[in-house]
């Protein structure tokens, strides 16, 4: 894990390993998010166990990706009767066997507490739910998606080796400087993007001070108007 973090940090010109830990932690979030969507839309438990995955680091000019490649598409069907119990059981098993060890190993290898990763998941799952609700119209599938999310957000903190469930989060929105009249969701934790060479904090970073956010908003809006002039 430390080797992966060091390689990844080099790709993004990180200062220390904070950004690398953050990035790989968000890649791990994608595993659980994929399971969540497949369970809700297709009523299937996708096999995203470690022995069915390969980790890859990819660089694309000005940015890099952590890619978790699926070796084989395998799944089991969720039962019609007792579905909620089966979903709870799968989340308990998957976090215990896969997600928790991954998150804790990444944080430990970087010299940090797991909170550096877990604390980002609240806003991240809220982004996912906003996206799905815009994509999928009201109806039976949408209802299952909402119910499955509430089930995940209602799991006890012990499921994640935490006092509190990291998916339990009330999103906060800011006026967007990128789209007139639009809004942008505040992150639930810093993604550490500023921990890189010439790095800066994001507009929706929760550790950004109000004055800094106002200055950044004005600068982004001015640049946007200049581009569209």
Q: State residue 223 phi and psi, 5-degree precision.
A: -65, -35
Task: Please report whether residue 30 resides in a domain.
Answer: yes
Q: How many domains does the chain have?
A: 1
Q: Which two tokens stand for residue 10?
A: 């080099």
- pLDDT 10s digits, 108-158: 999 999 999 999 999 999 999 999 999 998 999 999 999 999 999 999 999
Decide if 109 contacts 153 (C-beta within 8 A): no
How far apart, in whole angstroms, are the C-alpha atoms of residue 210 and residue 174?
12
Residue 114 lies in a domain: yes
Q: Is residue 228 part of a domain?
A: no
- The whole-number average pLDDT for the span 17-29 is 96
pTM given for the model: 0.93
Residue 215 falls inside a structural domain: no
Element (H, E) at 75: strand 75-77
pLDDT at 61 over 80: no
Q: Is residue 191 in a domain?
A: no
Residue 53, domain extent? 1-168
Q: Is 106 helix (H, G, I), strand (E, B) or coil?
A: helix
Q: Is residue 59 part of a domain?
A: yes
Q: Is residue 9 situated within a structural domain?
A: yes
Residue 223 lies in a domain: no
- Map residue 205 onto helix, strand or coil: coil
């Amino acid at each position: 894990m430390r080797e992966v973090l060091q390689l990844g940090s080099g790709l993004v010109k990180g200062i220390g390993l904070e950004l690398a830990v953050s990035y790989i932690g968000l890649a791990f979030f994608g595993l659980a998010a994929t399971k969540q969507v497949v369970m809700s839309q297709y009523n299937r438990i996708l096999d995203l166990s470690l022995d069915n995955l390969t980790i890859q680091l990819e660089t694309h000019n000005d940015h890099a990706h952590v890619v978790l490649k699926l070796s084989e598409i395998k799944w089991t069907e969720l039962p019609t009767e007792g579905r909620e119990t089966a979903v709870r059981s799968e989340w308990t098993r998957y976090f215990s066997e896969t997600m928790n060890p991954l998150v804790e190993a990444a944080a430990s290898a970087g010299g940090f507490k797991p909170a550096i990763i877990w604390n980002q998941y609240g806003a991240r799952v809220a982004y996912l739910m906003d996206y799905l609700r815009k994509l999928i119209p009201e109806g039976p599938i949408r209802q299952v998606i909402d119910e499955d999310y509430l089930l995940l957000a209602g799991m006890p903190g012990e499921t994640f080796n935490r006092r509190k469930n990291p998916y339990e989060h009330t999103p906060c929105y800011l006026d967007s400087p990128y789209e007139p009249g639009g809004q942008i969701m505040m992150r639930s934790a810093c993604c550490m993007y500023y921990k890189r060479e010439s790095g800066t904090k994001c507009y929706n970073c929760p550790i950004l001070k109000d004055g800094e956010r106002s200055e950044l908003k004005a600068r982004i809006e001015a640049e946007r108007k200049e581009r569209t002039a």
